[in-house]
Each structure stands twice: as C-alpha cells, then as structure tokens.
C-alpha cells in the first residue's frame, strides 16, 4: 500500500452475528482518501454508515478486506495498539460533543494528551491553548461546557480533535445537534481547517446541504458504495453564513 | 500513562462530584477512626494493668513450699504447713544465682498488734532488709531494718500506715515506741510510705515488717521458711533467674531426676501475661468490630464505584475513543477508589486520634495511641480501596468503546 493515501480501503466487509442470523452491514467497500481531502460519507440509516465510521475510527475491526490508515494495517493490530492509533492519528468529533461535564474547556482539550506518554503538564497546557486558538475560543478556556453554547461546545470538541495533530479528523454528524446558523459556523471552521491547514477531514452526515460544503461525497446504500465522486460545486460555508438574515434577537 | 497523569485524571474526576466522594469516604472514615480508638483504649487498659503489677514489683519471684504428698488419710496440706524451705536454700541462691538483685527469706504470721488500749488484727512479715526493695516499698519516716537487726534477731519493726492509724489513734509519733504482737514486744523503728490497695482490693499498708530471725524464733518458733522472695535484675532475665533458682533448690534438696519439686516458683510475669491476655482478648474483640465497619466502608466504595462506572459509561467510551487503553481506564478507576479510601483513611486517623484523646480526657480512661494501629489501618484502607475498587474498574476497562459511546 502506498503511503500517499491517508486512508486506503479494499473490499471491506463487516458481518454481525445476531442470534442465528448473520447481518452483513458492509458488503465490500473500497475507496481511498488523499491528504488534504474533505470527504463526506452520506447514507440513510441502515446503509452501513455507522459501521463504516466505527471501522474508520479504529473502534471496530473489519471481518474481511483491508484498511490502512497512514500506512498502518489496522487488521493486524490488537486492542491496545488500536487505542494508540486512535490517540495519535484520529481526531474524533461527535454529534453530542461528548465533553466532560464540570470540566473546563482547556482540560477537555487536554484529554487526548493525557493518554500520550512523554508530555509534561506545561506542554499539554500550551498545546491545548493553541488548539483553542485555532477554534477561536482561547478566551473561554476556563469555561465549563454548561457555560458554553452548543456551537461553542462543538468548537471545543474540534479543538480536542486537533490537539494531538492527527492525520485525519473524523466527524460523526457533527452538526446534527445544531441550528442552521451554528451548523454553518462549524462548517466554516471545518473548511478553514481543510483549506488553510490542509487537514484531512472525513465527515459523516445524512444532510445533503452539509455534504455540499465538502470536496467529495461518498454515498452508501445497503453496505455498498452507491456513488463516489467530487462535488461539482463546492459551496463556501462562510458565504452561506453571510447570506443568512441577521440573527433576530427575541 | 504516567503516575502523575493518573493522579491528575482521578483528582479531576473526583472534584466533579465532591459530595459523593465525601459520602463514600464516610464509611472508611468511621471504620478507621473506630479501629484506632478501640485499639488505643485496649492498649491503654493493658498498660495500666501492667503498671499496677509493676508497682507491686513485677520482677518479683516468689518461692513457696509445695508438696504433692498427702497426710495419712489423703488430706493434702497447704503451702505454709509444708516444711521444705530453709535458710540454707536462701544462702545457696545468694551464692549461685546471678540474675537477682535482692533476696529475702519470708515468714509471716497473723495476730493481734497491741498498743496501750488499742489493738488491731494484722500480719507480721519476717523478712530481711531487701524485702522493701523487692516489694517496691519505701520507708517514709525512721529507718529500714538492717543486717545487724537480722543477725541479732532484734525485736524491731517497721509499720504500715494502716497499722499506725489503728494503734496510734491520738496522732503521736510511733517511732521509738514499743508495740506488742501477740505477747512479743517490738520497737517501732520506721513507718512505710502508704501504698494503698492493690488491684485485688488488698490493703498493702496493713503490714508489720520485722527481721525474719525475730519472727521465726519469737513468734513462730520454727526453723523453716514459708517463702523466699527475690527480685530479678530486670524483667527480661526473670525467666532465667527462675530457672536458676529451681536448679539450685533441686540440688540443695537433693531431688533426683524425675522427682517432683517440693517447692513452687512463681513470677509476676505469669500473672501479668494472664491479665494482659484477657485485655488483649478485649482489644481483639473491639478491633474485630471496628474492622467489620471498615469492610462495610469498603463495600460502600465498591457500591459507589459501580454506580459511577455505569453512570460514566459515555465518559469511558469517550476516553477510549481518544486513545485510552483498557489499562488506563482500569488504573483511573482504581486510583479514584484508592484516593477515596486513602483520603478517608487519613481523615479517619485524625478523627481516631482526637477521639481517643477526647475519651482519655473526658472519661479519664487510659488510652495509648500506637503507631502500629495507625499504620495498619492506613494500609488496610489503601488495600480496601484497591480490593473493592478492582471489580468495578475491571468492568469499566472491558467496556466496548462503540457501545459505551452510544450508551444513554
């Protein structure tokens, strides 16, 4: 496998045994992602989207087929090695933010660094503050999640995904809990990270208008790739945000 | 993950729920405080028993005549009627046994002490000057007996306070006065420092001390001794001294191998060990009860940790997705449990110390804090935390990150 691809997947299949039945969630999926790409994975529920996401995130292993992330063959790794891959190569962004309650923003961002050996307290704090600056929340570093809005919480979560400088940001319905305006804000941030810092982003969603912000869309149906190709017109989230009517103050 | 990180993670997690952490600790706090207080009370009463005996002369060795032989008809005789101990035994012991610091023959008689119109039933002890040292008695006024008094069978005596009080009712100075014991006149040469009652309620001041020669010749008219008193140089060598005395006496009495001793040697050691074993039993009992409360505290930790793992399933899933290994999660929860129990232990130790001081001063019970009890309960605490925290921690570490993340 070439190291040119961040992700290289060949004939990936995943089967679950439920009682006496075998459920085939993924039936041979192949695609690859290059550095700096912004890929959206779309699909309705039951399309195998979540299963693919779990495998991409190294939380699950395929039944057959190969999955290379940054040149590392995931299939041959054990539970602990997968944890290390998640820690150093993947930055997760979840739909429900998943921040630790009653814990300050900067401490939340530091969380992945705690599981990385050889970092001192001061260096952790510096890197976490740097990540918060990237999502423009450095001034809120000591706020707890309950003191932040939904969009701000998601930005803290993105900072947490960035802090370990992963090869890929893996977002799971990251705008699913947000209103249109805030969704556009988050997508603006994602586009900036992708375009200005060449971060590789894999964004899982079921909303077509969110997919339109990415450079490439992969459509899943029934455990197979239905369509995979570049988006003809990539919309700018920033422009969309500016075109929205100014927020009403109720 | 290094140790400092672990502590940090656990601390942050505990801070998020301070009240719960404290309530979880409470069981441990009470348990440890109870163990320390109970042990200090137990230790205190043990030592006060030992002190009582020590003031009676705890390294005192007493030799008594003893015989298994029965009179015709099967009647066995009491120790004082058996005549086996003699002055030559005392001389032999003095020459051959090195570990004793004082030695005195002993004969005693009960009778009426009379002075003028007053009389008082008491006990006369015929002894040598060493006797006061052996029994930890001292002379308050006048002087002790001397070797000269013994050699000349002088009719002199030293009185205990009770005897003085009953014979000299007008408060006159007893020194130099003549009293009678039965029909025998004795001149008072000294008065003993009052000692009060011993633990068995005997009045230790109801005594007349006189040279054994005088008592043997003039009061009892006997050549046999009733007792030999000795004092071991230290309590540690009292066993050695006892063995030596037995050996010397067997030689002197020409007892063959296999023949039974015709005397009996007793040390206070045996009495002390018997009494302290009784109070040791009490200590064990109290500590066991306190230990049970420590175990209950531990179960409290387990309970809360278990709930905490369930409640924090999503957090565990998140940590795993961010790169925490199963071992990291296990150690985190274990550290939390141990930190709860150790903090509880420290608070418990402080509480236990103040409680035993409080009991000591309010109820004036003797309490003695032992470092061992503190160390033991501290380590038991840490162990309790580890033991009862382990199962919930293992449960947390075995969670599937996918399911844990989706847990509602």
Is the CB of A115 less than 8 angstroms away from the CB of B319?
Answer: yes
Look at residue B365 in the predicted model and tell me its pLDDT: 79
Nearest to B16 among A87, A102, A114 (CB): A102
Look at residue B272 in the predicted model and tell me its pLDDT: 67
Look at residue B125 in the predicted model and tell me its pLDDT: 92
DSSP H or E stretch at residue A108: helix A105-114
Interface probe with A: pick from B322, B400, B404, B408, most Cβ of A within 10 Å = B322
Determine phi and psi for A21, rounding to 5 degrees. -95, 150
Q: List the single residue in B with minimal CA-CA distance to A100.
A: B315
**Residues of chain A contacting residue B8, judged by C-beta atoms under 8 Å apart:** 114, 121
pLDDT in tens, B32-55: 888 888 888 888 887 787 777 666
What is the distance in angstroms between the Cα of A17 and the nearest Cα belonging to chain B?
16
Measured in residues, chain A has a length of 250
Q: What is the mean pLDDT of chain B?
A: 85
Q: Is A102 helix (H, G, I), strand (E, B) or coil?
A: coil
State yes or no: pLDDT of B245 exceeds 80: yes
**Residues of chain B contacting residue A107, judged by C-beta atoms under 8 Å apart:** 12
Mean pLDDT for the stretch of residues B297-301: 84
Low-confidence ranges of chain A (pLDDT < 50): 1-2
Look at residue B239 in the predicted model and tell me its pLDDT: 80
What is the distance in angstroms between the Cα of B349 and the nearest Cα belonging to chain A?
31
What single-letter DSSP state applies at residue B270? H
What distance in Å separates the CA atoms of residue B124 and residue A15, rounded to the nearest whole number? 104
What distance in Å separates the CA atoms of residue B398 and residue B325, rounded to the nearest whole number? 10
Look at residue B77 in the predicted model and tell me its pLDDT: 65
Q: Specify the range with the lowest mean pLDDT, choosing from B120-124, B185-189, B361-365.
A: B361-365
State yes or no: pLDDT of B58 exceeds 80: no
What is the distance in angstroms between the Cα of A61 and the nearest Cα belonging to chain B?
11
pLDDT in tens, B121-148: 999 999 999 998 888 888 998 889 999 9
Distance of CA B330 to the CA centre of its chain: 46
**Residues of chain A contacting residue B322, judged by C-beta atoms under 8 Å apart:** 86-87, 92, 111-112, 115, 160
Look at residue A247 in the predicted model and tell me its pLDDT: 66
DSSP H or E stretch at residue A126: helix A121-134
State yes or no: pLDDT of B60 exceeds 70: yes
Quickly state the pLDDT bin for B195 (edges 50, 70, 90): confident
Nearest to B325 among A83, A103, A121 (CB): A83
Nearest to B322 among A60, A112, A121 (CB): A112
Rg (CA), chain B: 34
**Residues of chain A contacting residue B408, judged by C-beta atoms under 8 Å apart:** none
Work out whether strand B156-159 and strand B184-192 pair parallel, antiparallel, or are unpaired: parallel
Residues of B with CB under 8 A from a CB of A: 1-2, 4-5, 8-9, 12, 15-16, 314-315, 318-328, 401-402, 405
**Residues of chain B contacting residue A114, judged by C-beta atoms under 8 Å apart:** 1, 5, 8-9
Q: Are B142 and B175 in contact (CB under 8 A)?
A: yes
Q: List the single residue in A with minimal CA-CA distance to B13.
A: A103
Rounded to 5 degrees, what angle do the CA atoms A79, A84, A87 make? Answer: 125
Task: Please count the residue pairs, one from chain A and one from chain B, whose beta carbons lie less than 8 angstroms apart.
Answer: 69
Beta bridge partners of B60: B231
Determine phi and psi for B297, rounding to 5 degrees. -60, -40
Look at residue A10 in the predicted model and tell me its pLDDT: 94
Who's near B347: CB < 8 A, 6+ residues apart?
A: B25, B29, B32
Q: Is B404 helix (H, G, I), strand (E, B) or coil?
A: helix
State yes or no: pLDDT of B82 exceeds 70: no
Is the CB of A92 less than 8 angstroms away from the CB of B8?
Answer: no
Measured in residues, chain B has a length of 408
State yes or no: pLDDT of B112 exceeds 80: yes
Residue A2 CB neighbours (<10 A): 8
Q: List the single residue in B with minimal CA-CA distance to A85.
A: B323
**Residues of chain A contacting residue B405, judged by C-beta atoms under 8 Å apart:** 59, 94, 98
What distance in Å separates the CA atoms of residue B299 and residue B8, rounded to the nearest whole number? 25
* DSSP structure string for A52-97: HHHHHTTSS--SEEEEEETTEEGGG--HHHHHHHHHHHEEEE-TT-
Nearest to B2 among A79, A98, A117 (CB): A117
**Residues of chain B contacting residue A87, judged by C-beta atoms under 8 Å apart:** 322-324
% pLDDT > 90, chain B:
23
Look at residue B74 in the predicted model and tell me its pLDDT: 66
pLDDT in tens, B338-356: 888 889 989 999 999 999 9
Q: Is B168 helix (H, G, I), strand (E, B) or coil?
A: coil
Look at residue A1 in the predicted model and tell me its pLDDT: 45
Which sign does the torsion angle of CA B42, B48, B49, B50 carry?
positive
Is the CB of A80 less than 8 angstroms away from the CB of B402?
Answer: no
Mean pLDDT for the stretch of residues B55-76: 70
């Amino acid at each position: 496998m070439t190291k040119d691809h961040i992700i290289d997947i060949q004939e990936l299949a995943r089967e679950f045994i439920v009682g006496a039945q075998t459920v085939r969630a993924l039936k041979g999926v192949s695609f690859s992602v290059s550095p700096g790409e912004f890929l959206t994975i779309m699909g309705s529920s039951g399309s195998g989207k979540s299963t693919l996401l779990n495998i991409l995130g190294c939380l699950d292993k395929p039944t057959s087929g190969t999955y290379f992330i940054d040149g590392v063959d995931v299939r041959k790794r054990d539970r602990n090695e997968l944890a290390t891959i998640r820690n150093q190569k993947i930055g997760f962004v979840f739909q429900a933010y998943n921040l630790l309650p009653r814990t300050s923003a900067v401490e939340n961002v530091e969380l992945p660094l705690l599981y990385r050996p050889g970092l001192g307290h001061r260096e952790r704090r510096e890197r976490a503050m740097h990540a918060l600056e990237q999502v423009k929340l450095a001034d809120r570093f000591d706020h707890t999640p309950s003191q932040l809005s939904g969009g701000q919480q998601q930005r803290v979560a993105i900072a947490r995904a960035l802090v370990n400088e992963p090869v890929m940001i893996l977002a799971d319905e990251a705008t699913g809990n947000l209103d249109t305006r805030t969704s556009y804000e988050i997508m603006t941030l994602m586009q900036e990270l992708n375009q200005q810092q060449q971060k590789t982003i894999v964004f899982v969603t079921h909303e077509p208008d969110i997919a339109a912000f990415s450079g490439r869309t992969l459509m899943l149906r029934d455990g197979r790739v239905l369509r995979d190709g570049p988006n003809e017109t990539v919309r700018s989230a920033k422009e969309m945000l500016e075109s929205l009517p100014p927020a009403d103050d109720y | 993950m290094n140790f400092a990180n672990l502590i940090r993670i656990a601390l942050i997690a505990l801070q998020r729920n301070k009240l719960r952490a404290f309530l979880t600790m409470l069981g441990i706090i009470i348990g440890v405080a109870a163990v320390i207080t109970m042990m200090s009370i137990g230790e205190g009463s043990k030592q006060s028993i030992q002190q009582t005996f020590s003031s009676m002369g705890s390294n005192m060795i007493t030799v008594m005549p003893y015989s298994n032989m029965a009179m015709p008809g099967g009647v066995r005789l009491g120790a004082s009627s058996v005549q086996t101990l003699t002055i030559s035994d005392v001389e032999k012991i003095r020459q051959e046994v090195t570990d004793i610091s004082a030695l005195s023959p002993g004969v005693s008689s009960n009778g009426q002490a009379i002075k003028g119109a007053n009389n008082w039933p008491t006990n006369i002890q015929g002894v040598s000057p060493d006797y006061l040292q052996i029994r930890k008695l001292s002379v308050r006024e006048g002087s002790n007996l001397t070797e000269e008094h013994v050699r000349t069978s002088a009719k002199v005596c030293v009185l205990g306070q009770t005897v003085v009080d009953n014979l000299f009712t007008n408060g006159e100075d007893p020194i130099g006065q003549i009293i009678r014991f039965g029909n025998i006149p004795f001149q008072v040469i000294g008065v003993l420092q009052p000692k009060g009652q011993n633990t068995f309620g005997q009045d230790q001041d109801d005594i007349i001390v006189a040279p054994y020669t005088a008592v043997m010749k003039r009061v009892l008219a006997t050549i046999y001794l009733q007792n030999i008193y000795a004092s071991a140089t230290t309590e540690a060598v009292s066993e050695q001294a006892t063995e030596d005395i037995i050996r010397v006496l067997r030689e002197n009495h020409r007892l063959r191998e296999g023949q039974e001793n015709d005397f009996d040697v007793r040390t206070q050691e045996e009495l002390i060990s018997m009494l302290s074993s009784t109070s040791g039993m009490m200590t064990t009992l109290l500590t066991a009860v306190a230990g049970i409360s420590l175990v209950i505290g531990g179960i409290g930790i387990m309970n809360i940790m278990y709930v905490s793992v369930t409640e924090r399933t999503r957090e565990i899933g998140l940590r795993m997705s961010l790169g925490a290994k199963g071992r990291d999660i296990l150690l985190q929860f274990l550290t939390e449990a141990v930190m709860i129990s150790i903090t509880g232990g420290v608070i418990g130790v402080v509480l236990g110390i103040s409680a035993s001081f409080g009991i000591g001063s309010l109820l004036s019970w003797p309490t003695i804090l032992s470092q061992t009890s503190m160390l033991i309960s501290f380590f038991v605490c840490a162990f309790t935390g580890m033991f009862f925290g382990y199962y919930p921690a293992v449960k947390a570490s075995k969670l599937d990150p996918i399911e844990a993340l989706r847990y509602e």
